[in-house]
């Protein structure tokens, strides 16, 4: 029987969905939980089985919602989408690690795959060195107002992702499992109690601060690892790379705090502070 590679993903989504449901019941009451469940079950019946009676029930339920009920329902399904996305991201990491552990060929589109193609084409060390001397990759950060999430939401998401990763990589003792379960419950509760939308407009310097916070858990953590991986692969192909250091071919750019994106609130003073 073939392995169901997506089973861990479905297990994580069920776990997070159950924790969210428990949180909704505890924080908003049984009536709100039952309403959300009724909408969810009707949606599933219509989506999976094209049950038109379920669609009519769904439309009738949604049309009858009060303002407060609408807010509760929208929040419940929005946070479930957030949690599902976290589970999917962790599953992507899980599958990537499984491929690496199994010694699979580098995935198409990856940097490792690009290097393998370069080696296979006969590119030698001089050509590769010349390439890296002239290569320039510049990811640019921008504070797009419709895409930037609140930092408090991002912090909750990172905690939940870390706890899911802990469950996946470690064989937990019963006590450790209990601690992880409780930490996940608290994290989902914190997420539910956190407003998804801002009530005040961010200043330009707020946007700069939010942008800088990304560096701690993205670029500053991953760039040294990326350079190390590339250098190791090059050295494995040609030992002369062991005594060489890659040039700085990846640099981070930013429009935040500048007027490149047409921000009318950026002044010369703001630009100086951002820099």
CB 213 within 8 A of CB 143: no
The answer on pLDDT for 106 being more than 60 is yes
Task: For residue 88, give the nearest of 27, 8, 34 by alpha carbon.
Answer: 8
Residue 73 and residue 36 in contact, taking contact as beta carbons nearer than 8 Å: yes
What percent of the chain clears pLDDT 70, i.e. is strictly above it? 96
Q: Which pTM was predicted? A: 0.82
Distance CA(177)–CA(208), nearest Å, equals 39
Beta-carbon contacts of residue 114 (< 8 Å; ≥ 6 apart): none
Q: Kindly report, residue by residue over 191-205, the tens digit of the pLDDT.
A: 999 988 777 777 888
What is the per-residue pLDDT across 139-160, written as a single tens digit (0 to 9) for each?
Answer: 988 876 545 677 788 889 999 9
Could you state, in order of their start, the residue ranges of all structural domains in the chain?
A: 106-148+202-274
Confidence at residue 145, expressed as pLDDT on a 0 to 100 scale: 57
Tokens of 94: 């899980």
Q: Of 84, 63, 76, nearest to 28 (Cα)? A: 76
When the pLDDT of each residue in the chain is averaged and rounded to a whole number, the result is 89
Stretch 95-112: mean pLDDT, rounded?
86
Residue 143: predicted pLDDT: 75
State the catalytic residue, choosing from 52, 92, 99, 144. 144
Name the nearest CA neighbour of 211 among 126, 138, 149. 149
Helix (H) or strand (E) holding 232: helix 219-237
Known catalytic residue at 144:
yes
| Residue 242: predicted pLDDT | 79
Q: Are 189 and 23 spatial neighbours (Cβ–Cβ below 8 Å)?
A: yes
Question: What would the two tokens of residue 12 be?
Answer: 């994580």
Q: Over the stretch 20-50, which tens digit does the pLDDT of each residue have?
A: 999 999 999 999 999 999 999 999 999 888 8
Q: Is-contact 65 75, C-beta < 8 A?
A: no
Q: What is the pLDDT of residues 182-239, one digit of tens each?
A: 999 999 999 999 988 777 777 888 888 888 887 887 898 899 999 999 999 999 888 8
């Amino acid at each position: 029987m073939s392995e169901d590679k997506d089973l861990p993903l479905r297990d994580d989504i069920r776990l997070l969905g159950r924790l969210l449901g428990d949180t909704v019941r505890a924080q908003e009451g049984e009536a709100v939980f039952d309403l959300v469940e009724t909408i969810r079950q009707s949606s599933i019946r219509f989506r999976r089985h094209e049950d038109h009676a379920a669609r009519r029930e769904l439309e009738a339920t949604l049309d009858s919602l009060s303002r407060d009920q609408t807010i509760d329902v929208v929040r419940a399904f929005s946070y479930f989408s957030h949690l599902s996305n976290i589970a999917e991201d962790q599953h992507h990491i899980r599958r990537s690690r499984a491929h690496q552990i199994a010694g699979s060929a580098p995935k198409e589109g990856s940097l490792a795959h690009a290097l393998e193609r370069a080696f296979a084409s006969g590119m030698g060390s001089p050509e590769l060195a010349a390439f890296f001397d002239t290569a320039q990759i510049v990811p640019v950060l921008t504070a797009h107002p419709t895409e930037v999430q609140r930092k408090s939401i991002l912090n909750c998401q990172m905690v939940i992702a870390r706890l899911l990763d802990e469950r996946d990589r470690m064989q937990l003792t019963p006590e450790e499992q209990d601690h992880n379960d409780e930490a996940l419950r608290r994290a989902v509760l914190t997420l539910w109690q956190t407003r998804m939308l801002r009530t005040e407009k961010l200043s330009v310097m707020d946007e700069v601060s939010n942008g800088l916070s990304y560096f701690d858990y993205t670029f500053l953590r991953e760039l040294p690892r990326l350079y190390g991986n590339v250098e190791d692969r090059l050295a494995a192909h040609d030992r002369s790379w062991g005594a060489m250091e890659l040039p700085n071919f990846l640099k981070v750019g930013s429009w935040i705090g500048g007027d490149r994106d047409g921000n009318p609130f950026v002044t010369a003073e703001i630009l100086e502070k951002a820099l």
